[in-house]
Amino acid sequence: MDFNKLLGITFPEASATFVRAELPITDAIRQPYGFVHGGATLTLLEAAASLGAEFHTDLSRELPFGVNVNVTHRKSGVDGTLHGEAAFDREETSSKGYRKLFWNVCARDDGGDVISEGVILCVVVPQRVTIDNPHLSTAPALSR
């Protein structure tokens, strides 16, 4: 089972420019004080950005990876569902020749209040970079 399924993350909308993801708030993702754990929110947002990055990737020869998360938590989630969004911002080329994909991300509660927001950077690398790791070289696509 992949991590997204384990947590219950679903993707009602996904394209090369925008991904919407949802995560039910359950006891499994709460920290000891009853609020949503920030790591769960980050997981939701990185999952959305990573799925979006797949649309920019030729999976027969490349793999996308989330490599930088710059997110600020604004409010605590308590109940309901977290609604994550990743909007494609731009693509740049790294000094090593990899493609860098910048995604503006935001998580909201059921009332539309911002829980967390920021930017996630994904890189697209040739599969030859990961050939020595059997888990990476055979990784299936997310839920496109």
Sequence-distant (≥ 6) Cβ neighbours of residue 21 within 8 angstroms: 9, 10, 11, 12, 44, 45, 47, 48, 51, 83, 84, 85, 86
Whole-prediction pTM: 0.88
Categorize the per-residue pLDDT at 142 as very low, low, confident or very high, splitting at 50, 70 and 90: low
| Token pair 């030859």 in the structure block, residue | 128
Separation of CA 55 from chain center: 13
Could you give the CA distance from residue 87 to residue 105 in angstroms, rounded to a whole number?
A: 6
- Residues 56-100 pLDDT 10s: 999 999 999 999 999 999 999 999 999 999 999 999 998 888 999
Summary count for the chain: helices (H), strands (E): 3, 6
Going from N- to C-terminal start, the domains of the chain cover 3-137
Could you give the CA distance from residue 8 to residue 16 in angstroms, rounded to a whole number?
A: 22
| Token pair 């030729």 in the structure block, residue | 58
On whether the 3-137 domain is CATH 3.90.380.10, my answer is: no
- Checking if the pLDDT of 5 tops 80, the result is yes
- Residues 110-134 pLDDT 10s: 999 999 999 999 999 998 766 566 5
